[in-house]
Amino acid sequence: MKKNEVIIYTDGSSLGNPGPGGWGSVVLFPDEKVIELGGREKESTNNRMEMTAALEALKEISKRKSTARKIILHTDSSYLLNGITVWVYAWQKNNWLTKTKEPVLNKDLWEELFKLDFSLKTKYEVLWEKISGHSGVHLNERCDVIATSFAGNNTTILFRGNLKDYEKLFGKIPTNHAVGTVSGVAKKAKSKNAGKVAFAYISAVEGKVHSDKTWAECEKRVKGKSGAKYKKVFSKEEESDLVAEWSLKLLL
C-alpha cells in the first residue's frame, strides 16, 4: 500500500430488489489501519445499497485527519460509477431532473454523495474505479459477504484494527489494489467468457432498452433499425448493470 493513498472497496446487496438491503465497505488507511463498515435497510434496492456503501466509506474518511493525498474507491456498480463521474453533473445542473423532466431516482443519496465527493476533492485526489463483481477481487468479495450478511439480517462482526491482523483473518491483500479495475478486468473477462453461453442480449432501439434471452430475438429487434446497439451479457448482475446504464443514458 502506498503511504499517500486511502483504498476503499464497496458493495451493496438487495434481496428482492426492492427488498431487505445490505451494504459493506472496507477502508485501508496509509498507516495500515483497516476499517470495515456495513449496515442494513429493511426495504431498499441494490442501487441504493451500492450508493450507501460508498457514501458511508467517504464519510468515515471525512471525519479523520489523514496524511493521504489520494482516495481510490472501487465499485462493481456501473450505476454508481457512471452516476458520480458523469450523470450527476447534468442532474445537478437541471435541478435534479432528467432530460424528460422526471425526478432523478435516489435523489437524496445522489445529492449527499455529490456534495461529499466535491468537498473531499478540495483536500484529496478522488478516483472512482470500476471492478468486475464476483471475479475474485479479494476485498470486493469481502464487501459482498458483509453486504449479503446484513441483507439477510445475519450477525456480522466488522473488523477494526491493523492490516497484519486483518490479513491473518481474511488472507493476504494484493499490493496492487488497482488490479481488477476497468482496463485490468477487460482482458480477463474476455478470455473467461470465450465460448460461454450468453445469459441475455441487451439492446437499445429507438429510445428503449430491451433484454432478450436469445440472439434470434435480439437480432430481430435491432436488424435494420438506425442507431440500434446491442451487447451480450453473461450473468443476471451484468444484465441489471447494463440495462440500468443504458436506460439512464437515454434520459440524460
* Active site positions, annotated: 11-12, 50, 76, 134, 144
| 107-120 helix and 46-62 helix, angle to the nearest 10 degrees | 30
Burial per residue of 85-94, b for 16 or more beta-carbon CB atoms within 10 angstroms, e otherwise: eebbeebeee
Rg of the Cα atoms in the chain = 19
Buried b (16+ CB within 10 A) or exposed e, 169-192: ebeebeeebeebbeebbeeeeeee
C-beta separation of 202 from 210 below 8 A: yes
* Terminal-residue alpha carbon distance, the chain: 38
Instruction: For 109, list phi and psi in degrees, rounded to 5.
Output: -75, -40
Are 163 and 33 in contact, with CB atoms under 8 Å apart?
yes
**CA–CA gap between residue 131 and residue 43 (Å, rounded):** 26
Write out 35-72 in H/E/C secondary structure.
Answer: EEEEEEEEEECHHHHHHHHHHHHHHHHHCCCCCCCEEE
